[in-house]
Amino acid sequence: MKSIKSSSILSHQPYWLASFLLLSSYSGLAFAEASSQEVEDGTLNIQSVEIVMERPQAVPLSGTEVNEKAIKQRSTTAMDSARLLEDIPGVNVYGAGAISSLPVIHGLADERLKLEVDGMDMSAACPNHMNSVLSYINPVKVGNIKVFTGITPVSEGGDSVGGAIQVSSANPVFAEAGKQLINGSLGGFYRSNGYANGWNASASFATNQLSMQYSESHLSSSNYRAARNFKDANTWAPILRNGLYKTDLDEVGSSAISNSANKSLDIALRHDVHLLQLGISQQSVGFEGFPNQRMDMTDNQNTSFNMRYSGLYDWGDVHFKLFRQRVQHAMDMSYERSLYMPAMPMLSNAETKGGSLNVSVPINEHVLKVGGDFKLYDLDDWWPPLLGMGAGSMCCDNFQNVRNGRRDRIGLFSEVESSWSDAWQTSFGLRTDVVTADAGKVHGYSSTSIYRTDANAFNAQSQGRHYQNYDWTALTRFTPDRKQSYEFGFARKSRAPSVYELYPWSSFTMAALMNNFAGDGNAYIGNLNLDSEVAHTANFTADWHDDERSVWSTKLNAYVTYIDDYIDAVRCRLASCGANNITRSNAFVTLQYENQSARLYGWDLSGVRVLDKDGASGLWTTKASISYVRGENTTTGNNLYHIMPLNGRFSLEHRLGGWTSTAEVQLVAAKEHVAQVRNETETDGYGLFNLRTSYGNKFMRVDLSLENVLNKLYYSPLGGAYLGQGFSMTSGILPWGVNVPGMGRSANVAVTIMY
């Protein structure tokens, strides 16, 4: 593998070293200065600090926090951590690989969101974003999820125009004073559709001040099947090559995963009200198919180191984080795509270093938060040449897709949370982020004209870019009585372009097709002249409920967002893109990123009602969630890409003893507002019926579920174009207009034993 060249604005100056020493010395000092406050169950109890005000909630009223108990209802039979978010109002999921779905909040996704795993602000290291951020944590390890769907406070991060998602492992557990605690778990699952299977194990040891846990998980799956045939036999006959490829017309090619393993070691130390956590994690994926991409992931090796400190003082509290991540990634074409073609490897190496310092100081009825964070990202993306028969235009040098790429960010913020009375609370924040990006000179597989013209044009420009972003947020909450709350929020958020939006340079069809993280089958070219996106959001949330929130609650969230310099796509007008690329409406096309403007608006409505709380038949509860979002490009009048139509989830839950059972209906309207510039295809409306039941006690847990009970053939509006079978390296061979179908009926079972 090619080594990564470290390059960043901070590494070339003393600021990086000074910042690191300052943060490290501060955390060491903080850990040494212990006070007499208490820590409960390994979690710092913020409420134990003696202040004369009530701290605001962990997330705004528009957001959602999911605890470990609720997560366990879905995580034991899940493969993809992003799927744990599907029940949260305003959140949807882009289709991708088996463990690599991309979350969407109110129509904004991927790098427009702030995604963190155990406090690590990571990025995908692949032109197709196959190694997505949430793929780095197994669902069974998730202990807490925070989702900011409305206004995201500036203290929770910048460089994003959408919401924020924070996924964390379970909190460390400590033993009582003078005792030791040893426990662990062993679990496994099986899914009938695709014969998916996996196992997980954990073991932990704890004293009153030390907690150590090792966890490991493995999973594999074959291709899943749709409810019935979705490929027309006549259309697909030339691609199936008379049975040399898999010929089952209901099988979704390139949807398998094999040899996926996650391992982690977590150590926590506490002293009075100070908690220091150290984590080391490794992920290895031998193969993961992507039915809406033109290649599959053939290897992904990830290693991360993570340190977090939290401490309470008489004057306030401190939160400090440092992390480092390294990724080695490889793509190629599986046998389902290229039975007789030579290997076509595409490789990338990336390294991310980051950290943050957040200090909160209560001042009478106010809490002042100040701090900063940084993220240093280095990337090399290159494609080795093909040699020998069949090499063609892919010989005889490395294709430099992104050479010595880097994107560095450093941010500072200040935020004030105030409690003016029992009825009124406010939060105001200011933030600035400096983002710099750069890359080296490039060349193609050879010096022939198909590469030389684009490479010379790219190399003639300066690749260095500098962005100064400014954010502000304002939130007001009004709680007139115990039965209702209202929240008004306004925000300005900014995001600088990503490496894969700036630096992909080639208009050669094969190369441009490889730079696609949208899953639409089109080819994409970067743009060195992109400006930062600037979003202005207004959000209103109303929450009605009974006095104790024990019988019923209803929440309404409405929003509108205007985005200046929205990074959308336009048709490539270069001669190399073809004369009909501008007007083509029923085929894959070549696109280039360009700043335009956009507007998104919509609402989420959710509610919970307990039907029979005290009856002998158990606890019966109904839940409902309905969401709508509309996205428009106001520069062109076109629709934005991958916008979910009106959709809802409705469930009836029953609890009795150790049993919890759920019947769920998911309804999705037809998708008619599609992005014409990308030739996005419409999808029909559909309804799915799911059944789940589980039994648990302190020693074991059993989960059973039947997904898509009625075996409905459906196409998710966010599933993308089906490209998973047949030679996919050119845009004219695979049929256009076929979306990736959803999974047919599947019976799932999971068993976990705890000791």
pLDDT in tens, 616-665: 788 999 999 999 999 999 999 999 999 999 999 999 999 998 999 999 99
Q: List Cβ neighbours of 654 (8 Å cut-off, separation of 6 or more).
A: 618, 619, 620, 621, 660, 661, 662
Does residue 252 belong to any structural domain of this protein?
yes
Does residue 275 belong to any structural domain of this protein?
yes
**Domains in the chain, number:** 1
The pLDDT of 299-320, averaged and rounded, is: 96
pLDDT of residue 157: 82
Look at residue 582 and tell me whether its pLDDT is greater than 70.
yes
Residue whose token pair is 């009478």:
364
Task: For residues 173 and 171, give the distance between their C-alpha atoms in angstroms, rounded to a whole number.
Answer: 6
Residue 709: CATH number of its domain: 2.40.170.20
Q: Are 348 and 125 in contact (CB under 8 A)?
A: yes
Q: Whole-model pTM?
A: 0.91
Does residue 126 belong to any structural domain of this protein?
yes
The pLDDT of 408-416, averaged and rounded, is: 98
Does residue 359 belong to any structural domain of this protein?
no
126-164 pLDDT, tens digit per residue, is 999 999 999 999 999 999 999 999 999 999 989 999 999
Q: Range of 691's domain?
A: 14-353+367-384+392-754
Look at residue 448 and tell me whether its pLDDT is greater than 80.
yes
Does residue 8 belong to any structural domain of this protein?
no
Does residue 6 belong to any structural domain of this protein?
no
The pLDDT of 681-700, averaged and rounded, is: 96
Widest distance between CA atoms in the chain: 79
The pLDDT of 171-177, averaged and rounded, is: 94
- For every residue of 130-176, DSSP letters joined together read -S-GGGGS-GGGEEEEEEE-SPPPGGG--S-SS-EEEEEEPPP--PP
- For every residue of 173-218, DSSP letters joined together read --PPTT--EEEEEEEEEEETTTTEEEEEEEEEEE-SSEEEEEEEEE
Does residue 708 belong to any structural domain of this protein?
yes
The pLDDT of 360-381, averaged and rounded, is: 97
Does residue 7 belong to any structural domain of this protein?
no
**How does residue 47 score in pLDDT terms, banded at 50, 70 and 90?**
very low
Weakest mean pLDDT among 24-28, 227-231, 458-462: 24-28
Q: Two tokens at 86?
A: 């599907």
pLDDT of residue 336: 77
The pLDDT of 484-508, averaged and rounded, is: 97
Q: Are 80 and 103 in contact (CB under 8 A)?
A: no
- For every residue of 728-748, DSSP letters joined together read -SSSSSSPSS-BPBPP--EEE
**How does residue 233 score in pLDDT terms, banded at 50, 70 and 90?**
confident
Q: Two tokens at 361?
A: 């100081």
Q: List Cβ neighbours of 399 (8 Å cut-off, separation of 6 or more).
A: 382, 383, 385, 443, 444, 445, 451, 506, 511
